[in-house]
Structure 1
Amino acid sequence: MRSLREGLEEQTVVYFGDSTTDLACLAAADFGVVMADDAESKLLKTLKRIGFEVPHVADAAAGSKIVWARDFDEVTQSGLMDRIGV
């Protein structure tokens, strides 16, 4: 993530992840999207446990840094990408 961000100083970095190995990149990105079947996924539970609030993409407020969605259709239908300028 560090090397990616070095080349994209002026760009918004959006990271999609689905496992706990994605945790560091989700936290380091400008905006993160957790892909999970439901709110009880291991990654979502871990993020919440370490202090991240992770609302569903449909319920996300403007200031939410990380959200979750069941699939990419939920992301596109929510208008999230437009709200964050991507």
Structure 2
Amino acid sequence: MRSVVGGAGDERRVVYFGDSTTDLACLVEADLGVVMADDGESKLLKTLRRVGLEVPHVGQWEDGRRLVWARDFDEVLGSRVMEWI
């Protein structure tokens, strides 16, 4: 993931969608990591919080945040994140 992000250049942003703890490293390295979860208490979200990372819902995203979570892709499409991407 580091080589993908590094090779994307300043004009492109790398967004990674993940739903399990095996996605953790890529979610953290991407310009924006989107955790896909049924609710805010998924195993992956709990793990990210346990290591000290804040993961707000995509509807509460603020510019500069690198991690968010969403229930489905429609929530991402309807959010302000799309303007940033």
Asked if TM exceeds 0.5, the reply is yes
Instruction: State which drifts further: 59-68 or 29-38.
Output: 59-68
- Identical pairs, percent: 64
Secondary structure of the structure 1 residue equivalent to 2:17: strand
Q: Specify the code of the residue in structure 2 equivalent to 1:18.
A: D
Moved over 6 A (4+): none
Give 5+ residue unaligned stretches, structure 1: none
- The CA RMSD measured in Å over matched residues stands at 1.2
| Count of residue pairs brought into register by the alignment | 84
Deviations 1:25-48 (A, max 9, x none): 011011110000000100000000
Distance 1:25 1:4 in 2: 10
Normalising by structure 2, we get a TM-score of 0.90
Counterpart in 1 of 2:63?
62
